């Protein structure tokens, strides 16, 4: 039985063609479609896993960035604290240096006062020696001369003038 109508002939070749097509479909499905579908599914799963991993790494990177930012802020704060402590130590040291300088100046002033007192005492002793020498000189003049009352008064007045002037300077 052969029917002919245009391009398609209905005969036993059509039957074999349909069977061949079905067999080809099952073979392609088994050896091509299934592996391709599995490959596409595994590729899709790999992409999804890669995206999840990327999101996890982004979250981890954000976490690390926050931690580093906190550490950086801590470092800035520690730097400010170190600078503040150094300034405080410098001020304390400056205070110590000023106190030492004032103490040294006080010691120098005290030594100068002691030295001035020694010099004043030395000058006073020297003046006493000079007064004593003048007294001896005056006594010697009195003994050497025979004195009348007027010359005696004159010598005493001269002696008092000399001694009084020296005492006044003391």
Measure the CA–CA gap between 125 and 154, rounded to whole angstroms.
Answer: 27
Q: Is residue 87 part of a domain?
A: yes
Between 145 and 58, where is the model more confident?
58
- Could you tell me if residue 155 is inside a domain? yes
Per-residue pLDDT at 19 exceeds 80:
yes
What's the pLDDT score for residue 144? 65
Mean pLDDT on 108-119? 93
Q: Which residue has the higher pLDDT, 127 or 97?
A: 97
Q: Chain-wide mean pLDDT for the chain?
A: 84
Q: Is residue 63 part of a domain?
A: yes
Domain that holds residue 19: 10-169
Asked if pLDDT for residue 154 goes beyond 80, the answer is no
Average pLDDT over residues 64-79: 93
Nearest to 166 by CA among 143, 142, 139, 133: 133
Domain count, the chain: 1
Q: Distance of CA 131 to CAs 16, 37, 90, 126, 159, Å? A: 165, 137, 60, 9, 9
In a domain? residue 1: no
In a domain, 146, yes or no: yes
Whether residue 4 is contained in a domain is answered as: no
* 69 is a domain residue: yes
Mean pLDDT confidence for 150-168: 66
pLDDT value of position 170: 46
Kindly state whether residue 5 falls inside one of the protein's structural domains. no
pTM for this prediction: 0.39
């Amino acid at each position: 039985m052969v029917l002919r109508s245009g391009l398609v002939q209905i005969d036993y070749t059509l039957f074999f063609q349909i069977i061949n097509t079905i067999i080809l479909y099952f073979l392609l499905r088994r050896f091509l479609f299934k592996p391709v579908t599995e490959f596409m599914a595994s590729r899709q799963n790999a992409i999804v896993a890669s995206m999840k991993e990327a999101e996890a790494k982004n979250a981890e990177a954000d976490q690390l960035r926050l931690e580093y930012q906190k550490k950086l802020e801590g470092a800035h704060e520690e730097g400010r604290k170190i600078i503040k402590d150094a300034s405080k130590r410098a001020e304390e040291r400056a205070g110590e240096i000023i106190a030492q300088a004032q103490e040294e100046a006080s010691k120098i002033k005290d030594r100068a006062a002691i030295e001035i007192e020694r010099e004043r005492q030395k000058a006073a002793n020297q003046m006493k020696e000079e007064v004593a020498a003048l007294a001896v000189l005056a006594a010697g003049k009195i003994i050497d001369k025979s004195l009348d009352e007027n010359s005696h008064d004159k010598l005493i007045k001269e002696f008092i003038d000399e001694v009084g002037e020296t005492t006044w300077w003391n």
